[in-house]
A and B are shown apart, each in its own frame.
Chain A
Amino acid sequence: MNNKYKVVLAIIIFAGGWIFGSSNNEAPVITSSVGGASYEGGFESEVTVGAVPHRSAAGSIHIVSPGDSIQAAVEAAQPGDTIQVMPGTYSETVYIDKDDIHLVGVIQNGARATLDGLGKLNDAILYSGNNIIIENFRITQYKGNGIMGQAGNNFEIRNNVIVDTGIYGIFPQLGTNGLVEHNVVSGIEDAAIYIGMSDNIHVAYNEVFDSVAGIEIENSRHAIVEYNNAHHNTGGILAFVTPGLPIKTTEDVIIRNNFVSDNNTPNFGAPGSIVSGIPAGTGILVMAADDVIIEGNIITNNKTAGIIINDHSFAPTITMDVQSDPNADRTMILDNVMLNNGYDTIPEVVAVALTELHIGLVDIVHVGPSNGSCIINRHRYRTVGIGDYSECGFTNTDSIDSYLLAGGAQPRVIASSERGEIAYLGVCAGCHSYTGRLIGPSVQVIQAMYAGNPQGLATYINAPIKKRENFPEMPAQNYLDPETQLAVAKYMLQVNN
């Protein structure tokens, strides 16, 4: 389209908008968000402090000084212990495959324990255990992630400074009940803080900038993102359903009281990555996520739009997933302060705006079908595509402090007798049959040796010694905890077929 034609079209549209607009110039519905009804949330929230349960007894403290290995301290630590890392530079990947470890950087006169990946190491800190705290580190120059969790429940990641490091700054995945707060994260080629496939999450008081995405809540439920400062990213705060992931929904996300400004950084995401499709100048982006509440944010100077809500069809580079609902349903927009957004928007938004004869700034744009969405005080904003939004039946989220679980996510409770059966059938039965030799001796032979002595059998399986010349040596079953070892010994001594 040549420029002359564009100008003519714009004038016609502008005139049309003025004419049609003036014919519909009723007094707006003004709703006070002070007091009034609160959103009740999709989750029964409880008053709670932190995400990691308090320890009933203090464990040992392991001090790590420059020149020492943090990983060696992790390996020496028992669940319940704390590792204190003194200021200085450490170049290693730390992985925590045990529960209840607090990994704490010591800050002295502003100097931090710094993990430096030297541009060569993959990730700074990986954890898979439950009840993990990681705080006060400076992390830089890793190729992968700064801090990455895989399935650990009850985690707190706080007060870390993460600079110019890899794909994600902080990335807990597949965990329940986590707190990410007071971190400063910048220069990340995907999301500075990325909550992936997780439940009951609180992201607060973080500063995220100079990254492709500031904070991303993806395929997760019951998350609150509040009091963060997301600025100078490509996109500020995102709530996504990414198709093709095994957990399919994003639901019940409250994005409130954040600063979301100047997110106009050119997109430097890796080709093919999901965030590489985010247009520079995006304040808040809701894609296919349901029950997202946007409240009390100050959203300024984002050139594409302040808030974009879209379905999967608006993102042509993502995969097809029949199990993934493509629509953003029940978006709820309460009072926000929105200034100077959409001043240099993308052709796709222009095209949608033109269908409503809208030109100029865009605070809020919704593309694609949406069921049950609502807004209050819509007259304040420059909006596109929200004609079917109703008035919300509430004006705030004051009754919800947190979606964190009081006391933390609890481990599965398995009775000791059941543990015995599980371990016997799941492990022992591969080598021991009731009668006759399989790989090890028969259960009947073992029963005769250890009759009335389950503790003796438990001691043996913890650290077996070679007893029979023509049998292979039994591998130690010391990965079973003492309770399970005794339970399986008792179980083995009473089986009868």
Chain B
Amino acid sequence: MTKYLINNKANRNAFSCIFATLIAMSFTLAQSAESTFALADKCPPSFALDNNNQCQLRNLYQLYDSLQDRGLGGLKTALPKHRDGFSPQQIDLGRLLFFDPVLSADKNLSCANCHNPTLGFSDGMDRSVGARGQVSQRSSPTLWNSAFLSVFLWDARAHSLEEQAIGPLFSDKEMANTPEQLLSNLNQVAAYPKLFEQAFPASKDALTIDNTVTALSAFQSSLISLNSAYDRYAHGDAKALSSHELEGLNVFRSFVARCSQCHTPPLFTNQQVAVIGTPEPAGLPRDVGAAETFNAKRLTGGFKVPTLRNIARTAPYMHSGRFATLREAAEFYTKGRGHAVPEGEELLLHWHISDPKLTDTELDRLVDFMGALSDESFMPKTPNQVPSGLLNTSTSLAAALEK
């Protein structure tokens, strides 16, 4: 067959067309791209390369301690324990995989569709859209600083980057792939087997699901955002926050608003489950959230407290994107304990959901302060082209959104 095609130009072109339509975008593109994909041998910014070819995280919070080493406290407090120690090649392979739609069953969705770097590694939607246009139950959480998390997903059901990464790949509602199909698809891309060998030189069989997930985790662990105006204030620059932002910080940590009791610095989450009673989108039933994870009715409507770092980039807000703006999200907390819980429904609301009676000015200042938690100085580079050669829909989506 190959011989025949080479000898027959017209037939070869016809075959290329059909092949591309049937299977993917452009097989020949991927073939020609093989030599152009080389993995980085340097760590991303904020990481030091050690003698074992592992990237070790460095940040200013390593100058501090925290109570019980839990990474919770005030300004000069250490962060929670983090994941690092991946190689530069693993991180870089993870970056290529992250942006490559070849990971999904229909080769239309990459990780970046729902975790778009230009949208705070979220997607700007109230609820994410998965395979075959299915609207999921919840919104896409940011990936910034996920290296510091020990609890993942809105319903707190995953406990490692790997566990979190594997879910969407094989969920029918998200990327809808199967392990067999994913391996087959990756093997069909000429560049990947060699890239996996580079990233996992010790593996006999480098291109595996485990290594795919490791590389994705490695990339996610490199998304560090710790150089916001707030951080400069925390480290000691009294002028780093504007007067409005500083007023907002004092509302945020006051015991009237109590925001910092759950969105605890320096990560701005305490990683616990809280039932706060936000309303569901019109017509949708109560999302039970963590009640299912822990098989505990008391946690009905409970979700993991999300980080507020880069929160200004990830509208809309709450688990189902019910609030379009940070102002609306902040206002929810001052409309009265349980005000959005339908009559007759019993939720065991968190004890810090109170009735703080914040003023309009205080709400504005809270929004100002949350804006001071933005920092994308270590933004990774979006690849111009991914090994499969497939169209990177996330970047075109971002372009469309910007218009």
Contact between B294 and A421, CB atoms less than 8 A apart: no
Q: Within the assembled complex, what's the spacing in Å between the Cα atoms of A414 and B66?
A: 15
* B-side contacts of A439, CB under 8 Å: 377
Q: Are B256 and A122 in contact (CB under 8 A)?
A: yes
Cβ of A298 under 8 Å from chain B: no
B48 interfacial by beta-carbon distance below 8 Å: yes
Chain B residues, CB < 8 A from A430: 45-46, 227, 377-378
- CB-CB contacts below 8 Å: B184-217 with A: none
Complex Cα–Cα for A130 and B236 (A): 13
Indicate if B353 sits at the interface (CB-CB under 8 A).
yes
Please report the C-alpha to C-alpha distance between residue A422 and residue B235 in the assembled complex, in whole angstroms. Answer: 13
A171 touches B296 (CB 8 A): no
Q: A319-B348, A426-B226 are in contact. Are A421 and B77 (CB under 8 A)?
A: no
Q: Answer yes or no: B274 CB below 8 A from chain A CBs.
A: yes
Bound Cα distance from A484 to B236, whole angstroms = 12
Q: Which residues of B contact A480 (CB under 8 A)?
A: 60, 235-236
Q: Which of A128, A197, A320 is close to B299, meaning CB atoms less than 8 Å apart? A: A320
How many residues of B sit at the interface, in one of the four size bands?
Answer: 35 or more
Report which of A75, A123, A175, A270 forms a contact with B238, defined as CB distance below 8 A.
A75
A171–B348 CA distance with the chains assembled, in angstroms: 25
Looking at the complex, which one of A122, A246, A433 makes contact with B251 (CB distance below 8 Å)?
A: A122
Stretch at the interface among B25-33, B67-75, B98-106, B313-321: B67-75
Q: How many Å lie between the Cα of A247 and that of B73 in the bound state?
A: 11
Q: Once the chains bind, are B351 and A274 in contact (CB under 8 Å)?
A: yes
Does residue B349 face the partner (Cβ distance < 8 Å to A)? Answer: yes
Residue pair B255, A426 in contact (C-beta under 8 Å):
no
- Is residue B350 contacting chain A, with contact meaning CB distance below 8 A? yes
Tally of contact residues, A, Cβ under 8 A: 67
Q: A97-B238, A174-B73, A272-B351 given as contacts; is B255 within 8 A of A247 (CB)? A: no
Check if B59 is an interface residue, CB within 8 A of chain A.
yes
Q: Using Cβ atoms and an 8 Å threshold, which residues of chain A touch B235?
A: 479-480
**Interface 0/1 of A268-292, CB less than 8 Å to B:** 0011111000000000000000000
Decide yes or no whether B272 CB sits under 8 A from chain A: yes
Segment of A5-13, A145-153, A336-344, A375-383 engaged in the interface with chain B: A145-153
Q: Which residues of B contact A129 (CB under 8 A)?
A: 76
Contact of B65 with A411 in the complex, beta carbons under 8 Å:
yes
Contact A422 B62 (CB under 8 A): yes
A246 and B270 within 8 A (CB): yes
B286 interfacial contact with A, CB 8 Å: no
Do A270 and B60 form a contact, CB below 8 Å, given A128-B74, A151-B73, A175-B67?
no
- CB contact under 8 A between A421 and B58, given known A97-B75, A128-B74, A244-B274: yes
Is residue A198 contacting chain B, with contact meaning CB distance below 8 A? yes
Task: Determine if A199 and B255 form an interchain contact, defined as CB atoms under 8 angstroms apart.
Answer: no
Q: B65 contacts A412, CB within 8 Å?
A: yes
A478 to B264, CA, bound (A): 25
Q: What A residues does B97 contact at CB under 8 A? A: none
Interface of B is mostly: loop
B232, B260, B302, B377: the one within 8 Å of A150 (CB): B260
Q: Which of B292-316 contact A (CB under 8 A)?
A: 294, 296, 298-299, 302
A197 to B272, CA, bound (A): 15
Digitize A114-147: 1 where CB-to-B-CB distance is under 8 Å, 0 elsewhere: 0000000011001011100000000000011100
Q: A247 CA to B266 CA in the complex, in Å?
A: 15
B-side contacts of A93, CB under 8 Å: 250, 254
A425: chain B residues within 8 A (beta carbon): 45-48, 58-59
A475 to B229, CA, bound (A): 10
Distance of B178 from chain A, by nearest CB (Å): 31
Is the pair B255, A167 in contact by a Cβ cutoff of 8 Å?
yes
Q: Report the minimal beta-carbon distance from B257 to chain A, rounded to whole angstroms.
A: 8
**Do A319 and B74 touch across chains, with their CB atoms under 8 A apart?**
no
Contact B256 A144 (CB under 8 A): yes
Q: Are B253 and A126 in contact (CB under 8 A)?
A: yes
**A244-B272, A427-B227 known; A479+B58 contact, CB < 8 A:** no
State whether B70 touches A246 (Cβ < 8 A). Answer: yes
Q: Across the interface, do B73 and A319 meet the contact criterion of CB distance under 8 Å?
A: no
**Known A272-B349, A426-B58, A430-B46; contact A128-B64, beta-carbon cutoff 8 A:** no
A96 CB → nearest B CB, Å: 11
B166 contacts partner chain A, Cβ-Cβ < 8 Å: no
Which of A171, A174, A175, A419 is within 8 Å of B255, CB to CB?
A171
Q: Is B271 an interface residue (CB 8 A)?
A: yes
- When A246-B70, A427-B60 are in contact, do A151 and B354 touch as well, CB less than 8 Å? no
A478: min CB distance to chain B, Å: 6
Flag if A476 contacts B237 (CB, 8 Å): yes
Closest to A145 in B: B255
A117 to chain B, nearest CB (A): 10
A481 and B64 CA atoms in complex are apart in Å by: 14
* Chain B proximity of A50: nearest CB distance (Å): 20
Chain A residue nearest to B75 in the complex (CB): A128
Q: Which chain B residues border A424 with CB–CB below 8 Å?
A: 58
Residue B93, interface by CB 8 Å: no
A176 at the binding interface (Cβ < 8 Å): yes
Q: List 23 A-B contacts (CB under 8 A).
A: A97-B75, A123-B256, A144-B255, A151-B72, A171-B255, A174-B66, A175-B73, A197-B72, A247-B70, A272-B349, A272-B350, A272-B351, A274-B351, A319-B298, A411-B64, A424-B58, A425-B45, A426-B46, A426-B226, A426-B227, A429-B45, A431-B377, A476-B237
Contact surface of B with A, Cβ cutoff 8 Å: 42, 45-48, 58-60, 62-68, 70, 72-78, 226-227, 232-233, 235-238, 240, 250-251, 253-257, 260, 264-265, 270-275, 294, 296, 298-299, 302, 337, 348-351, 353-355, 377-378
Interface pairs A-B: 5 shortest CB-CB = A151-B73, A151-B74, A479-B237, A430-B377, A128-B74
Besides A128-B75, A274-B351, A426-B46, 15 new A-B residue pairs in contact (Cβ under 8 A), listed by A number: A97-B75, A123-B250, A126-B250, A144-B254, A167-B255, A174-B66, A199-B67, A244-B350, A245-B270, A422-B59, A429-B46, A429-B378, A430-B46, A484-B63, A497-B42
